[in-house]
Structure 1
Amino acid sequence: MTEQATTEQATTSWHLAGDWFDVCKCAIPCPCTFAQPPTYGDCEGILVWHIREGNYGDVRLDGLNVLMVGAFTGNVWAGEHSDAYAAVFLDERADEQQRGALGAVFGGEAGGWPAQFGAMLHPEMRGMDVAPIHVEIDEDLGGWRAEIPGRVMATAEALTGPTTPDGGRVQVHNAPGAEVGPGQVATWGRATVDRADAFGFTWDRSGKSSKHFPFDWTGPD
């Protein structure tokens, strides 16, 4: 990358707002949201971003998706972790300019919250690909799902129990370990499918933790 391109990424104004969710191997509720070590000491899972509206300079990013498969050991929030690995998929509907913008934002070069989160995790990238990413989020947050056919599937339903009001959602405000940054509300779910077979990440399970957060980011500051 040229010095000029790096400077442009660091100074381009951008804004993204949308939905984020994950499914992972942790028990419910995932301790990571409370800035605690993962249930089993290590974690692996699928992270999904759906951009409802967004721009990177003059480049519109509305409706595009990004998905990451990742694993780490230890407590990310306490700086006590190692062996972080990830692979990223960009929406195949994005054109060349949009892919460049998504890469700059989610790769951390464009600043904002993704840069701060990436600086905590420092993942070793196993790969990046462009793929069809199908994402659905129920408007009432009854469930959420994402799929890259033949490679990744993540589906979850909102967590309920005998004392949950009809249509009520189990939520956490002011989470000390929110992957999308401060100020957003977590809605808890139970993973019904958590399956990956990509870039050396292989698992197939259900019944573990899932959570949904809205996100609203700006950069480069």
Structure 2
Amino acid sequence: MISWEIKGEALGNCNCDYGCPCQFNALPTHGSCEAAVGYQINEGHFGDVSLDGLRAAMVVWWPGPVHEGNGKMQIIVDEKANDEQRDAIVSIIHGEETDPMSTVWSVYSTMCPTKLETLSKPIELEIDIEERIGKISVPDVFVTSGEPIRNPITGAIHRARIDLPYGFEYDIAEIGSASTEATGAIKLSLKKSYAQFNKFHMNNNGPVRKAA
């Protein structure tokens, strides 16, 4: 198995209501699962290949809950990546060189038998985890805009977090609201639905956590 490790920040938007039942081992709000995610890799390597400073994104769709499978996914890799870097990022997000089901990418890949052509595109990505503000823009594929949840009566900013000490995606995520329009091979239209802003630190074995 090729040794790899990456750390960075992510913004994801799915079609569930705020909180996303999937985070609590419950069924999705509307029965199906669909999402768009952007990743900023601050530090990383895949074997001897450096992944520092690169970006990636993906669009995923399932007709039902993720665990029932039959989904499809498409990966977009930063156009700045060379061939080796591109192949490395695709390998990680496809769950290769990874203990089975130990990362969110391994789970998603396993549950997506349809893997569409990987794209090389410029990825505009802004993520402010503390303020729950962000944007992902991939030309001709999708645009996501994230913001804090607001009180529907007063308009005051509402703050909530999800803490998953044994999760396969993050330890703590700040929860916000986001909208996505995806016009590529996988089409999505999400309006003010669940968004998560989180740091990630992963390797072959799953999330990297400090020893207790």
TM-score normalised per structure 2: 0.83
Q: 1:43 aligns with which of 26, 33, 57?
A: 33
How far, CA to CA, are the matches of 1:72 and 1:53 in structure 2?
31
Contact 1:35 1:75 in 2 (8 A): no
- Structure 2 CA distance for partners of 1:136 and 1:179, relative to 1, 3 Å: farther
Identify which of 72, 75, 92 aligns with 2:65.
Answer: 75
Displacement of 1:179 in angstroms is 5.6
Quickly say closer, same or farther: Cα 1:154–1:57, change in 2 above 3 A: same
SS at match of 2:69: strand
Deviation by residue 1:64-111 (Cα, 9 ceiling, x = unmatched)? 1111111113333xx4x1321111111101011111211221222221
One-letter code aligned to 2:169:
V
Is residue 88 of structure 1 aligned with residue 78 of structure 2? no
Point out where structure 2 has 5 or more consecutive residues left out of the alignment. Answer: 207-212
Q: Name the counterpart of 2:180.
A: 194
Match of 1:208 in 2: 193
* 1:171 CA drift (Å): 0.5
Structure 1 letter corresponding to 2:181: R
Find out whether 1:141 has 2:127 as its counterpart. Answer: no
How far off is 1:175 after superposition?
A: 6.8
Inter-partner Cα distance in structure 2 for 1:35 and 1:27: 15
Greater Cα shift, 139-148 or 81-90:
139-148
Measured in 2, the distance between the counterparts of 1:136 and 1:216 equals 18
Aligned to 1:32: 22
Q: Distance in 2 between matches of 1:28 and 1:14?
A: 33
Distance 1:161 1:74, change over 3 A: same
d(CA) in 2 for partners of 1:149 and 1:127?
15
Number of the residue aligned with 1:15: 5
Deviation at 1:172? 1.3
* Residue aligned with 2:26, SS: coil
For 1:53-202, list aligned pairs within 5 A.
53-76=43-66, 79=67, 81-112=68-99, 113-114=102-103, 116-118=106-108, 120-138=110-128, 140-161=130-151, 169-174=159-164, 178=167, 180=169, 184-191=171-178, 193-199=179-185, 201-202=186-187
2:210 match: none
**Structure ranking higher in helix proportion:** 1
Partner of 2:209: none
> SS where residue 141 of structure 1 aligns?
coil
* 8 Å CA contact retained: 1:33, 1:175: no
Secondary structure at 1:74 match in 2: coil
CA contact (8 A) 1:158 1:187 kept: no
Equivalent position SS for 1:212: strand
Change (3 A) 1:205 1:74: closer
* SS of equivalent residue, structure 1 residue 150: coil
Aligned residue-pair number? 202
Corresponding letter in the other structure for 1:91: D
Displacement of 1:210: 0.8
Give me the TM-score of the superposition, normalised by structure 1: 0.80
